[in-house]
Amino acid sequence: MLKDITLGQFFPGNSAVHRLDPRVKIVLTVAFIVLLFLAQGPVSYALIIAFLAVVIGISRISPKMVLRGLKPILFIVIFTAVLNLFYTPGTYIFQWHFLHISVEGVKLAIFMVLRLMLLIIATSMLTYTTSPIQLTDGLERLLSPLKKLHAPVHELSMMMSIALRFIPTLIEETEKIISAQKARGADFDSGNLIQRAKAMIPILVPLFISAFRRADELATAMECRLYRGDVGRTRMRQLKIARVDVCALLWVAVLFAVVIILKHFGL
């Protein structure tokens, strides 16, 4: 299960999606999330799915890798679908004691499942195609107006990018600890819920120690390189809006307009 967590991983490439300005990709990701909540009908969701499929194809990210990232949230997706399926009032097509299935519940369950899956895929595509450094620069530039309010924009952007960067590292460390504990005879699969929770203690303790050690090493490395935050900092790569960025923004703007029109007609 841990190997299926792909959030935070970056896959280098030279596709049009990789070359997009990180600021544009962040804005497009937020716009896509808003678009998911605007969509109300099957035609709208079909267009959104087609749009996302085209983006994945252009990025040359393996569809298997994208779908593998959905496995960790499979329980949440199923739980959400069940709640919407049995507890949505409307025209009932099945009744048994306190369980009721309505036509509206079936539609809402399908749309909620699609919304969750597309949301995870879209946010994952941002980290798949954007390096942590680019993500930091993009967030910092977008939040730069908050500097006038003395908000620590650079520090917040750096912390967010470091957190994303170390997700795959911590997952790999957890797998190593689990393998080492199993080699010593640890059993994580048998017993009741309380026993399984107690069995996780030999994993959590060394994992926290390893995380603190890595954080200390990272802080030492940054101090040795005279890191002083945003004060006097220069950038090797200057962010510039290119033609491909404008095309991507126009593409999403057109999709926005179409979805809003379809929502008006209930599609």
Phi, psi of 100 (to 5 degrees): -135, 135
Q: Look up residue 200 and give its DSSP letter.
A: T
> Rounded CA gap, 141 and 131, in Å?
15
pLDDT by residue, tens only, the chain of 267 residues: 445 555 557 777 788 888 888 888 888 888 888 888 888 888 888 888 888 888 888 888 888 878 777 777 778 878 888 777 777 776 667 677 667 777 777 787 888 888 888 888 888 888 888 887 788 778 778 777 877 777 777 777 777 777 777 777 777 788 788 787 777 776 666 767 677 777 777 778 888 888 888 888 888 888 887 777 666 666 667 777 788 888 888 888 888 888 888 887 777
Cα-to-chain-centroid distance, residue 189: 29
Domain boundaries, the chain: 2-153+234-264
Nearest to 206 by CA among 235, 183, 244, 178: 178
CB 28, CB 147: distance < 8 Å: no
**Residue by residue, what is the 3-state secondary structure of 107-128?**
HHHHHHHHHHHHHHHHHHHHHH
Q: Any residues with CB less than 8 A from the CB of 154 and at least 6 apart, and which?
A: 140, 229, 230, 233
